Amino acid sequence: MMGFPFDKLPHIGKTRDGVHYAAGFADGGIVLGTHFGKTIANGVLAGRAPETAFWNLGFPTWPLYSGDPWFLPAMIGWIDFKDRFAAGKPY
């Protein structure tokens, strides 16, 4: 499973329960995941928030989106259609 935040930015932070997270890397998963993992670990060891612009950005949403990606089947169908058309295979 992959997650792409609506603002297309990586997010790192700390939940109300004290759990640190790093999410939303989109295309740079391995590189950014490794970097932010180290950034969070250094912040935890130092006892303070990591020094980064991506700390606790919040997750913006879109109108009509309630957490259920109802639009994904239509988007996947559209992308599949474009791929087939570009490859010269309309069906």
Helix (H) or strand (E) holding 34: helix 29-46
Residue 3's pLDDT band (boundaries 50, 70, 90)?
Answer: low
For residue 91, give every residue at least 6 positions away whose Cβ sits within 8 Å of its Cβ, in sequence order, or none: 84
Residue 75 has pLDDT above 70, yes or no: yes
Instruction: Give the C-alpha separation, 68 to 86, whole Å.
Output: 30
Considering the chain, what percentage of its residues have pLDDT values greater than 90? 5
Task: Please determine, for residue 91, whether its predicted confidence score (pLDDT) is greater than 70.
Answer: no
Each residue of 7-49: pLDDT tens digit? Answer: 878 888 888 888 888 888 776 677 788 888 888 898 888 888 7
